[in-house]
Amino acid sequence: MTDAVDYFSRRLAFETDPSDVYAAQKAGDDLALVDVRGDHAWAQGRVSGAIHMPYREIAERARREIPAGTPVVVYCWSPGCNAGQKGALAFARLGYDVREMIGGYEYWVREGQPTENDEGLRERVFDPTVMVVRS
């Protein structure tokens, strides 16, 4: 039993999900939401309010752009992408309190949370296979 409690406690300390991140944004919580994908992915679409910092650039840019002590949440494409973990590791090495948004951009979009691209806000679409959709 202790192993399971330890395991799940540790996971929750380092992971979050799109619903919790969106709730934190709406509540005005102090956090930096960082999209660690490349330029083409960012241009195609991103979480509204995110900062674009590809994981390979974190070591050189983070301290200039994100104040020390700011909680950081990173995301990449989807559960099949490990760029979020690479980005989280880079922030952790710099001493940031960092969590990975599990599900990435894919689940943010599927849950109908606000997204944008270079033209502006995108239409919100709610996927009933990942959430309760109320009319």
Q: What is the mean pLDDT of residues 84-106?
A: 98
pLDDT for 1: 65
What would the pLDDT profile of 45-86 be if each residue is shown by its tens digit?
Answer: 999 999 999 999 999 999 999 999 999 999 999 999 999 999
In the chain, the amino acid numbered 62 is A
pLDDT for 134: 82
Confidence of residue 131 (pLDDT cuts 50, 70, 90): confident
Across the chain, what does the average pLDDT equal? 95
